[in-house]
Structure 1
């Protein structure tokens, strides 16, 4: 069976995932640094060798859970005894005051966890408004452009002021997201990393950001 290829994804989409990997592992890629890599396995190996930290074999997702539980306990003292991996976020974060509570949790962690989004109905309205504006551009350029700009502004304001819908369900899912998006910050000792976890973290990143089945991301998966 031929290896799966990522060539049908836009280059910008792949670059966005790589930028997320840079932030998560605190590394930087210079221009054309990765052009010699052709498979997902080669990318995982290269990034593993690029992280300039000592190896430590402990589990990052477990450490992320303990960090998150401590941040939740700092913010919600009465909930300390009920925080487990399977705990539902809706039980910890009722709608009233949810945005402020999440911001307090993020301050305790020291980084953003992006738990909230605007309601789906509002995003749908803004999406179709932007689409209608683009369709009208050839017929009424000024009106279409103004509508598109207003829609873009609406998206920005919605994410800033109307985000109150939880994107994840359980504490364990938040810990997994932390491990994926803030790998080093999620570790008890951020000056170490577990070499054996790099491939899993990158697999989770690519699968999540590209909405891709993890089973397709093997070491033989090709970029071109």
Structure 2
């Protein structure tokens, strides 16, 4: 059997790494300066810089657990869900019925106080809009005016579809908890001035895995960019 190719850090483009750094900034509420990462050569180097920039008291409490409590309270506050029946394995389709899903999700996000994006469009529609967008550039060689109209229409369809998309990107409260704790680490905690030092590296790993599909086995201290 042929070996399965593992997606590694050195497969990532510099622009992709920059996007990851922005997401790390957002999650840990940091503000990196230009040049902070100029000497970074490995995943361990990047984690060390993040650890050095994080301020606050390090405690041993679990951020995912605190994120779940916040999510549970927000769901109870906006949906007719009994506290005892809400678990990590509860399906989001049960909490947010399709008929009024967009409205309920917006209510939930307002109650939670964290802008988490869990809705999207059907995969086939996303691919259709993407193909239309790519083909629009081909019109530049035929008629630039029609091409600009087609490009604008594709962008408009994309924004409209995502604004009113009803498809759930994740399935359970467990996945929602992991998403919130990863993308909004500090806001997930009861006291945003505290953090768990033991969780920082794992959170950075999840950001790489979720956004770039980097294999977890390829994320160790010596993994080179």
**TM tier, smaller:** over 0.9
CA contact (8 A) 2:59 2:194 kept: yes
CA contact (8 A) 1:79 1:92 kept: no
Runs of at least 4 residues off by over 3 Å:
none
Measured in 2, the distance between the counterparts of 1:77 and 1:189 equals 28
Q: Give deviations 1:64-119, integer Å, cap 9, x for gaps.
A: 11111111111114332211011111111110110111111111111111010022
Measured in 1, the distance between the counterparts of 2:190 and 2:107 equals 20
RMSD of equivalent CA atoms:
1.4
Specify every segment of 5 or more residues in structure 1 that has no aligned partner in the other structure, as ranges.
none
CA contact (8 A) 1:69 1:83 kept: yes
Instruction: Name which of 126, 135, 140 aligns with 1:137.
Output: 140
Larger mean CA deviation between 173-182 and 145-154 belongs to 145-154
CA contact (8 A) 2:136 2:150 kept: yes
Match of 1:113 in 2: 116
Q: Would you say how many aligned residue pairs link Structure 1 and Structure 2?
A: 219
CA contact (8 A) 1:22 1:29 kept: yes
Measured in 2, the distance between the counterparts of 1:76 and 1:145 equals 44
Instruction: Name which of 45, 48, 69 aligns with 2:72.
Output: 69
CA contact (8 A) 1:89 1:169 kept: yes
Instruction: Name which of 202, 205, 208 aligns with 2:204.
Output: 202
Q: Give deviations 1:163-209, integer Å, cap 9, x for gaps.
A: 11000011010000001100001011111001110100000001111
CA contact (8 A) 1:181 1:205 kept: yes
1:71-220 equivalent positions in 2, closer than 5 A: 71-160=74-163, 162-220=164-222
Measured in 2, the distance between the counterparts of 1:8 and 1:77 equals 46
Measured in 2, the distance between the counterparts of 1:5 and 1:126 equals 30
TM-score, length-scaled by structure 1: 0.93
How far the C-alpha of 1:142 sits from its partner, in A, is 2.2
Measured in 2, the distance between the counterparts of 1:140 and 1:211 equals 39
CA contact (8 A) 2:9 2:214 kept: no
